[in-house]
Structure 1
């Protein structure tokens, strides 16, 4: 009976009752979310969003299952949504094939054995004047006019830095064979 009274008060937007219900379930729901996402900050966000959704949809709660079970389902769905979102972001990153044009303007695709992390590491090793142009052009998708404005350099300098940066990047990305670069 006690649980039903709190839920009825929550349906009437009684903040005290909502806080009471939140305090009763927040720790358990946090553990559920954290088991899914394995990140306490994300789990906290999920719990907050789940409670917001639960309070806004409380009129749909019929009492066929316990409030805890109903809320847990919301938390699990929110957790899965976060995981799906992360997976989509990872897929987007994994599917990136950097296309690099060398000095002779022939297309050169980064070897499939080279990971995205290795490409990022190689870009980080470039001298700054090349690194920023390469990042802005290859990763962010800016053109030379935009890069020249962002970095306060001429378009000619942007093209030169990109060409030299890509040449250095190619050298850094030659796959390792038997412990030595071939």
Structure 2
């Protein structure tokens, strides 16, 4: 079934079409949700919440862009809503207003696999991780991230800068010890 026919059937609340859409995007979207949560169980909860929103609002998809990108945005927003609502995340999601010096744009002389980078991002403090995911991974602007998290654009910039600096430091430290990375290239 083509995408437009699938969307039409989902608008009609056809369970088979909804299942097909879910099966097509669930694995990818679970990865998105997991980047924002602290464990797979929370990520699965967010995935379910997100797909309820997808099916509820699929008639609003206007075919201006890819369906996967539209679903991804819903998953990111659902993830942010989830971490804002749950107290265990609220304690960790702290953003500090600070002024920083410009971070060096030098790249470490090391090649890491995507899984290694994902693990390093997950080791960041939760606020840094959230900002880095929004800006560095999802491609949102600082203005968009600030609005989504109800923080200032300057806070978004400073948190991203600190997250990036922390990642560079982690990569540089670990690159001098390649045995720390089983997938070191």
* TM bucket normalised to smaller: 0.3 to 0.5
User: Normalised by the size of structure 2, how large is the TM-score?
Assistant: 0.46
Instruction: Identify the structure with bigger relative contact order (alpha carbons < 8 Å, sequence gap 6+).
Output: 2
User: Normalised by the size of structure 1, how large is the TM-score?
Assistant: 0.47
Larger radius of gyration: 1
In proportion to residue count, which structure has more strand? 1
